[in-house]
Amino acid sequence: MGPIDNVAIEDVDGTLIGTPGYIVSDNDRMTAFAPECVSHTASCTAHCPGTCFRTMGIAVSTFEDDSLLLEITDTDTGIKTSFTGEYDWPLNSDGSVNMAEHTKTHRNRRFFATLPSGGTRNYEARFVKDGETHWPLFVKTQYEDPGHHCPEFASFTVVEPEVEVGYCDELIRNGDVSSGVDNWWATMGGVAVVDESSSGQGLAITSESRWAEWMGPAQYLDSRCMIAGNKYKVSAKVKLIHKTTSAPLTCGSTNGYCPKFIMKIESGAWEDYDEGWSYMGGVSEWDSSLEWNTIEHEITISQAMADAGSAVMYSECENLDALMVFDDVSVQRIID
C-alpha cells in the first residue's frame, strides 16, 4: 500500500479554517474539481470552505496490478483527475506472493474517489492501463460514507469499454488450464495445476486444500457479458481424488454429493448486498468406470445477474476428503 494522499477531514463548525468545509490533501487528485480550495503550505493541506465531499468506493479484481488507474471526469467542465488503487499484497516470509490468499474470491483491489458532492456534480469514471481504456472483469461501486449529510453526486457513471464481436461467446478464460493458474481463483484453499497428460487431458485445475464444501476453483465472469436473456451451455470434465492419497473417489449424484458449479452474484464495494446463488450444473449420473465424468447444463442470464456488480462461478462438493479436478471448463453461448 502506498502513501495516503486522499485525506478529507470535515471542519463541521469552521473551528479550524474559519468557515465550515473540508481540509484535504493538497494535491490535484483532491482539489481538481474544487477551485475554491486554498493551499495551506505549512500543513501540506488545502482548505475548502463551503465545500462538501463524498467518497465513492470501487472494488475490482485482485488480478489487476498497481498500474491500473481510475480516471474521473467532471462531465460538465471536462476536468479530469486520476486515482490509484489500494491492495494489501499477501506475502510469504520470503517476500513472494502468497497465492492461496491472493486468489481468494472475496479479496478485491479498491479505489477510493473522494470528490466534491452535490446535486449538480456529474462524474464519469473509466479504468486506464498503460494509457489505454481497460476493464477489470467487474466493477462494484458503493458510497463509503452512507447517510452522510453531504448530498450524493448527481451521477457517477462507470464507462464500460465495448467488447469485441464474439468476446462473450465464451465466458471462461483459460478453461483448458494451458496457461496455468491464470484467471483462476478459489473460494478458499488456493488453486493448483496438476498434469493429467497420462489421461489425455493435459493440465487441469484443482485446490491446494479443502475443509468446507464450498471450497474449490472459481472464475469471475466478465460483467459486460451478463446480458439478460442470453443462454449458455456449461460444461467441464471432472474427477475426484483423495486430498492426501490422490486415490480416485466416487460420489452419489442422486443425493447431490457430486461436484457442481454455482454462480454467486453480488454488489457493494465494501459490504455485500443483492446477493444471489444459482445452480450452474453438476454431474447428472456419476460413472465410476470412467476416469473423468462430465458436467453439462444450460443457463439463462437473468436480470438480477445482469444488474449485479460481479458474478463468480465456483465449484463445491460435500465430500471434504475430496479434491475436485477440472479440465476443459466452458461456459459457451447458445445462439438460436
Domain-by-domain residue ranges, the chain? 8-158, 167-334
Distance (Å, rounded) from C-alpha 209 to C-alpha 104? Answer: 13
Write the pLDDT tens digit of every residue in 94-137.
999 999 999 999 999 999 999 999 878 999 999 999 999 999 99
Write the pLDDT tens digit of every residue in 317-334.
999 999 999 999 999 999
CB 253 within 8 A of CB 286: yes
Q: Report the share of the chain in percent with pLDDT over 70.
A: 98
Per-residue CA distances from 108 to 129, 167, 202, 261, 324 (Å): 17, 24, 31, 22, 25
Write the pLDDT tens digit of every residue in 132-165.
999 999 999 999 988 888 999 999 999 999 999 9
Instruction: For the full predicted model, state whether its pTM sits above 0.85.
Output: yes
Write the pLDDT tens digit of every residue in 265-318.
999 988 888 899 999 999 988 999 999 999 999 999 999 999 999 999 999 999
Question: Which CATH number does 167-334 carry?
Answer: 2.60.120.260
CB 144 within 8 A of CB 226: no
